[in-house]
Amino acid sequence: MPKALKSLVIIGAGGHAKSVADAAMSAGYKIACFVAPDAKSKKMLGIPVQASMPKGAGYVYALALGDNAKREAVAIKYAKLVFPTIVHKTAYVSPSAKLGAGTVVLAQANVGADSKVGRFCIINSAASLDHDGVLGDFAALAPAATTGGNVTIGARVAIGIGAAIKHGISIGDDCVLGAKSYLDRDLPKGVVAYGAPAKAVRKRKKGDAYL
């Protein structure tokens, strides 16, 4: 972490924010506060929770909002702030992989060789994006989700807990793949799919509920 960047402000104060804080602290960040206008508690993990952004310079920021479309909207709102990539110390990121600004990689996750991860993505605990994978901006892999190599996942896609994706598959923007599903065929943009093998069950627009 650059010395000039004093401490981290986490936007969000739900359960996912705890995971982001855990990753950030493991990587050496000092957490200044959580920010959530509707927070019910004044502290979380012993760290202050505020209704508004702290004043002053020298902060960097992390987005801890699990909903992909909401995370995108907040990232656009605060586009002038600095959002570093945060990687838990137990995660493995290949030296040849690329991570976009604001992306968070949680404990025990894997990002394989020559993978490209977009901006403000979430790679949850024990999730794996294998070699040559592409994860679009604001997409998320839930805990223990896994992909084969050469998988392309579009923007704002949500891959459910424990889902698996076959080598070489492409998934269009704004899709949702249900938990424990196995996907062995390409998906067009804007569908919800689940099952083993997974099948598209309905269409979905950006911002719709996941399931």
pLDDT tens track for 153-180: 999 999 999 999 999 999 999 999 999 9
Residue that finishes a domain, picked among 22, 55, 77: 77
Looking at residue 211, its pLDDT comes to 67
Contacts (Cβ under 8 Å, ≥6 apart) of 70: none
Looking at residue 5, its pLDDT comes to 43
Residue that finishes a domain, picked among 46, 77, 108: 77
Looking at residue 6, its pLDDT comes to 64
Whether residue 41 is found in the same domain as residue 64? yes
Whether residue 115 is found in the same domain as residue 54? no
Domain span at residue 97 reads: 86-196
Whether residue 129 is found in the same domain as residue 149? yes
The whole-model pTM stands at 0.94
The CATH number that applies at residue 116 is 2.160.10.10
For residue 202, is it within any domain? no
Whether residue 15 is found in the same domain as residue 92? no
Pair of tokens at residue 1: 């972490």
Burial of 205 (0-12, 13-18, 19+ CB in 10 A): exposed
Looking at residue 4, its pLDDT comes to 40
Pair of tokens at residue 36: 């959530």
How many structural domains are present in the chain? 2
What's the CA gap between 74 and 76, in Å, rounded? 5
What's the CA gap between 15 and 202, in Å, rounded? 29
Whether residue 188 is found in the same domain as residue 102? yes
For residue 206, is it within any domain? no
The residue ranges of the chain whose pLDDT is under 70 are 1-6, 211
For residue 211, is it within any domain? no
User: Using CA atoms in the order 175, 98, 142, 52, what is the torsion angle rounded to 10 degrees?
Assistant: -90
